[in-house]
Chain A
Amino acid sequence: MIASLIRWLDERLHLDELIAPFKHKTVPQHKLSYWYFFGGITLFLFMIQVLTGILLLLYYRPGANEAFESVQYIMTRVQFGWLIRSIHSWSANLMIFTAFVHMFSVVFLKAYRKPRELTWVTGVILLALVMGFGFSGYLLPWNTLAFFATKVGTEIAGQVPIIGKPLMIFLRGGEEVTGATLTRFFGFHVAVLPGIVVVLIAIHLFFVQRQGMSVPPKVEAEWIANPRARREMKFFPNFALRELMAWYVAMGVLAALAALFPWNLGVKADPFISAPAGIKPEWYFLFMFQTLKLIPSKVWIIDGEVLGVLGCSLAGLLWLLLPFLENEKSSRSKAWVTGISIFVLVYVIGMTVYGFLAQ
């Protein structure tokens, strides 16, 4: 029955031609192959986000007077509403985590090298957009923590020289964080960002499919020295089935987190109360937030916050251009990039932990 349906479709759409590249596609098989799974897991979590996001949209109402109540309604009245909301929140965090893991695995396996520079660039932009998803989505339940986190976050954006103030007003929909901010964050979260991200994911995946998986330099050198050591597995079904296993593991972790630690709703935002003491952003912004906190209020004649925002922006830009900064032929340049990458990883983890522990 299914076979005849596929044949029927094939006669009309020539699916064989489309599937042909996948049939011949292979994936390098070595002791570090498991790092390849994190990109796929991130994609899987993104799909979960889209699915649960659509389900939440059925009941969520953007607006300062309705948002909190609608999320409360989802969590208490809608059948399995709590599960969908909890999965959406946990999946968002796991997705950002796996995206970070994927990025650093690419860095340390040197997968960004020629000819994959553009794959790296699209990946880094995707990570920034995913963090934008986190920032905009965090406000949507309109609770106290979200309100003040948005206030602090948009204030930091306002520190960018020249465009800072207009940028802050654009993000907030006015001078202050209000219902107008919520409405536009909702728009970014469910329309603007998904549109851009889906296109970029398609491009990112196209690059990966077109160029194949990168082999780490050491493994590549071993294979060149001993061609008989080269191992590859078919993308379909061997690698795809393993990836499916990884997705099942991710699903299990996600289900356990959502069921055992349902995402807290908090208290409805009140713009007239003072910010809770020791307010902090979500963990994935913590390393930047802590960096800004540690910079003195005045460095020479430059405002500390402005310097921090400019520094972070410059660091982000350099990170984006990482493949272009490394000279393939210079081992000294490669060592430098590796050293900087280790420093960045230690810095991000260290500052995040410090941010958690700091008062």
Chain B
Amino acid sequence: MASLRNNSLLAARFAALATSLLLAPSLHAQAVNSCLDCHSAQPDRLEVTPEKFSQDIHAQKGLTCVSCHGGDASNYDPDQAMSRKAGWKGKIDRKQIPQLCGSCHSNPAFMRQYNPSLRTDQLDQYHTSMHGKRLAAGDTKVAVCVDCHSVHDIRPPSDPRSPVNPVNVAKTCSRCHSDSALMKPYGIPTDQFANYSTSVHYDAMAVRGDLSAPTCTTCHGNHGALPPGVDKVQNVCSNCHVFQAQMYGKSSHFKAFQDKGLPGCVVCHSNHAIHMPSDAMLGTGPAGVCMKCHASGDRCDKARASILGNLTQLDQSIKDADQSLRLAESAGMEVSEARLSQDQAQDALTKARVTIHTFQPALVDADIQSGMKIAAANLKAGKDAMVERNHRRIGLGLCLLAIAFMLVGLWLYIKKLES
């Protein structure tokens, strides 16, 4: 008898499930959402319009207000719709937000239904971050999911309108990190965004639209404290600047900086305000960095001066060759082979500038000499072309003289013939 009753209960549940599955699409299409109907008319932060929510990736995937806030969206009686009995959670406490988001985003089986390629370790990563640690310690002013991703109109990061789209990340971070009042209790500077805005990385990202250029999260991580595979933020540079990092790793500076606890690349290149490196960094002027640590006239200063002198020499040689070739080209001379090998000279200069990170003048000089050889050959090609042009003009002059002579001779002959 009991088993019969269990069976009929199972059958009833199955029938209900089947009916709901069959009717689900039509019900969804006609679904009422009392939350939005009321909240679209609410003032200030309580306002959530259907237009705004329709932009949200969650709404587009079929989730509703109830998915996060609980309650009964089909009921137009506010007391019943927002009753604890209906599971209404009310405004989510900031401290609970990562956990609430993580309830879905940390569930691989659930997330696979929507986006199989999306990572599901964000919450774990967040717990390792400074934001996560402070939140766990009770500091609710730190960033939680919605501070970066927005709320009720959360767009995927690939959407250019998303605050976590690579182009917008720096601006999003700066909303808090440039707020001196907010940052004051933590004792951290607020000039990062201002500095970053002057950097070569910002220029690549914001001006040239290169989405692979680094922004805040590239070095500092997004959900976690650091990007994967890096022990310290200062070592992130090697992820992109591989050769420079390899050479620096073998240099005398590497150990010296480590012993003194200096932050590697940052010592010379700064962190947020990383400007386009120039040979002037090796100089003794305002842009020079070597003499901030080294004494004038010491062994290292001599090496610096030697490297700088060689770099300047190669740079000038390439420019001279370039000018010579340009002159020849403007005279219509064919110097495309030399023009092509100018790229090789420029490559040698670039390579020398990378080799600087070994801080060994002999190695830098080897690159410089290979570039000098090519630049000298190209300069000669340009000059030879101009000499050749002059020969052509002399040849033309002689040819025109001969033609003029023939014309006069023919004319006189015709006159004689016809007289």
Q: How far is the CA of A251 from the CA of B392 in the complex (A)?
A: 16
Q: Which residues of B contact A264 (CB under 8 A)?
A: 332
For A83, the closest partner residue in chain B by CB is B392
Q: Which residues of A contact B404 (CB under 8 A)?
A: 252
Q: How far is the CA of A238 from the CA of B417 in the complex (A)?
A: 8
Least CB distance, B357 to chain A, in whole angstroms: 35
The answer, yes or no, to whether B399 is at the interface (CB within 8 Å) is yes
B410 touches A245 (CB 8 A): yes
The answer, yes or no, to whether A249 is at the interface (CB within 8 Å) is yes
* A221-240, CB < 8 A from B: 237-238
Q: How far is the CA of A241 from the CA of B418 in the complex (A)?
A: 12
Least CB distance, A152 to chain B, in whole angstroms: 25
B407 touches A256 (CB 8 A): no
For A261, the closest partner residue in chain B by CB is B332
A to B contact number (C-beta, < 8 Å): 54
A259 touches B396 (CB 8 A): yes
A244 touches B410 (CB 8 A): yes
For B403, the closest partner residue in chain A by CB is A252
Given contact pairs A82-B334, A255-B399, A248 touches B414 in the complex (Cβ within 8 A): no
Q: Mark B381-419, 1 if CB is under 8 A from A, else 0.
A: 000000000001101100110011011001101100110
Q: Which residues of B contact A82 (CB under 8 A)?
A: 334
A248 touches B337 (CB 8 A): no
Q: Which of B334, B403, B406 has the most CB of A within 10 A?
A: B334
The answer, yes or no, to whether B336 is at the interface (CB within 8 Å) is yes
Q: How large is the interface on B (under 10, 10 to 19, 20 to 34, 35 or more residues)?
A: 20 to 34
For B414, the closest partner residue in chain A by CB is A241
Q: How far is the CA of A260 from the CA of B337 in the complex (A)?
A: 21
Q: Which residues of B contact A259 (CB under 8 A)?
A: 392-393, 395-396, 399
* Interface residues of chain B: helix, strand, loop or mixed (majority): helix
The answer, yes or no, to whether B333 is at the interface (CB within 8 Å) is yes
Among A245, A260, A265, A267, the residue within 8 A (CB) of B407 is: A245
B334 touches A262 (CB 8 A): yes
* Interface residues of chain A: helix, strand, loop or mixed (majority): helix
The answer, yes or no, to whether A93 is at the interface (CB within 8 Å) is no
Q: Which residues of A contact B392 (CB under 8 A)?
A: 83, 259
Q: Which residues of B contact A248 (CB under 8 A)?
A: 403, 406-407, 410
Least CB distance, A340 to chain B, in whole angstroms: 38
Q: How large is the interface on A (under 10, 10 to 19, 20 to 34, 35 or more residues)?
A: 20 to 34
Q: How far is the CA of A256 from the CA of B413 in the complex (A)?
A: 26
The answer, yes or no, to whether A72 is at the interface (CB within 8 Å) is yes
Q: How far is the CA of A242 from the CA of B411 in the complex (A)?
A: 8
Q: Which residues of A contact B407 (CB under 8 A)?
A: 245, 248-249
* B339-375, CB < 8 A from A: none
The answer, yes or no, to whether A177 is at the interface (CB within 8 Å) is no
Q: Which residues of B contact A251 (CB under 8 A)?
A: 403
* B41-98, CB < 8 A from A: none
The answer, yes or no, to whether A130 is at the interface (CB within 8 Å) is no
For B397, the closest partner residue in chain A by CB is A259
Q: Which residues of A contact B396 (CB under 8 A)?
A: 255-256, 259-260
The answer, yes or no, to whether A75 is at the interface (CB within 8 Å) is yes
Given contact pairs A242-B414, A245-B410, A248-B406, A72 touches B336 in the complex (Cβ within 8 A): yes
Least CB distance, B392 to chain A, in whole angstroms: 5
Q: How far is the CA of A311 from the CA of B393 in the complex (A)?
A: 46
Q: Which residues of B contact A245 (CB under 8 A)?
A: 407, 410-411
Q: Mark B309-344, 1 if CB is under 8 A from A, else 0.
A: 000000000000000000000001110110000000
Which residues of B are interface residues toward A (Cβ below 8 A)?
332-334, 336-337, 392-393, 395-396, 399-400, 403-404, 406-407, 410-411, 413-414, 417-418
Q: Which 6 A-B pairs have the closest CB atoms?
A: A259-B396, A262-B332, A75-B334, A252-B403, A259-B392, A255-B399
Can you pick out 19 interface pairs between chain A and chain B where the beta carbons lie within 8 Å of each other? A72-B336, A72-B337, A76-B337, A238-B417, A241-B410, A241-B413, A241-B414, A241-B417, A242-B414, A245-B411, A248-B406, A248-B410, A251-B403, A252-B403, A255-B396, A260-B396, A262-B334, A264-B332, A265-B336
